[in-house]
Structure formats: structure tokens, C-alpha cells
Amino acid sequence: MKIKEGNAGLIINFELLHLLNSRGAAKDTTRVMASVGRSEYKVYDYLVGTVACNQTKEHINEFLEKSQKFKLTKAEILSIINTRPSQLVELDPIMCRQIVEQQEQRPELDMEELLELILQVLPPPPSETEPEPEPESEPVDEDNNKTADAEKNVPDE
């Protein structure tokens, strides 16, 4: 065995999930007929539990386009798409790695703006059905139940 290229490109979780789905991982409930191995099913189970299960190619492309002005590194984009931070404190560790140099090079990086872009473009994980609290929005109606029905009756604010 010869490793020709150790690193031939990074993959986001969504792409791997898409690959497994294209082989039929989602449709075959018996897990015997699709050409997906048992260990691949374990990876599939893990990915379905992350934010990647709600994402589509359009979401990703839109995010890549709109985040260009922030000049994020590949690693940061990857982490953001894979984990979809919904609050500033979640965004911090992703951006924190290059603290001193980056702050000098790109002082216009606005974390709040980036967070808003993330919340706007990337879909939330399926467990979060409550509307996200955003910095300048009005207070959320506290009687909102965590059910799908409540989402249909969005209160006028």
C-alpha cells in the first residue's frame, strides 16, 4: 500500500453524510441490502445526530459566498459548518486560535455579524425548535412550547 497524497482535501460532515445517503444508507431500514458496511453505519448514525442532517448544498454554498468578506480560514469555516455555533461563546473557541496575529490583520472581523450570518444561513439542529435569542431582537414569548405546532403560530412581534 502506498499513500500517494496524505491530505487530498478536507471534507465537511455534510459531504460525508451526502455520500452515505447516495449509497442508500437512509432508505434501507434492514441495513443489509445497501452497499454500506456496518462500520459505515456507525458513522452514519453519528452524523445524523449532528447539525449536518439538516443541511443542503444550497445552505453550504450560500454560507461560503456570504462569509467571504470575513476572510475566514479553511479550518474556521469547516468548524463553523460542522458545529453550527448558535451563541457567541460557542463561536469563540473556533476563532480563538490565532488570537493576537488575526486581531491585527483583520480588525474589522465582527463576531456578532458573523454569528448573525451563521444563524441566518445555516439551519439549526432538529432538537432546537425554540426560536434563537438574537442580540437586538425583542423578547421571545415565554409561553412558546417546544412543539412543532407552536412553530406554525409565530406570534406577531
Chain CA centroid to CA 9, Å: 19
For another protein, what does the binding mask look like between residues 106 and 135, x meaning CB under 8 A? ------------------------------
Place of cell 421571545: 140
Which one of the spans 34-42, 101-109, 116-124, 148-156 is the region binding another protein (CB under 8 A)?
34-42
Angle between helices 57-66 and 111-121 (to 10 degrees): 160
Please say whether the beta carbons of 94 and 115 come within 8 A: no
Residues in contact with 60: Cβ distance below 8 Å, sequence separation at least 6, in sequence order: 12, 14, 81
* Least distance CB 73 / another protein (angstroms): 11
Residues in contact with 146: Cβ distance below 8 Å, sequence separation at least 6, in sequence order: 129, 130
CB-wise, 54 or 82, nearer to another protein? 82
- 87 lies in the binding site for another protein (CB under 8 A): yes
32: helix, strand or coil: coil
Which of 31, 33, 45, 69 is in the footprint of another protein by CB under 8 A?
45
In the complex, which residues of this chain contact another protein (CB under 8 A)?
Answer: 1-13, 16, 19-20, 35, 37, 39-40, 42-43, 45-46, 50, 75, 78-79, 82-83, 87, 89-90, 92-94, 96-97
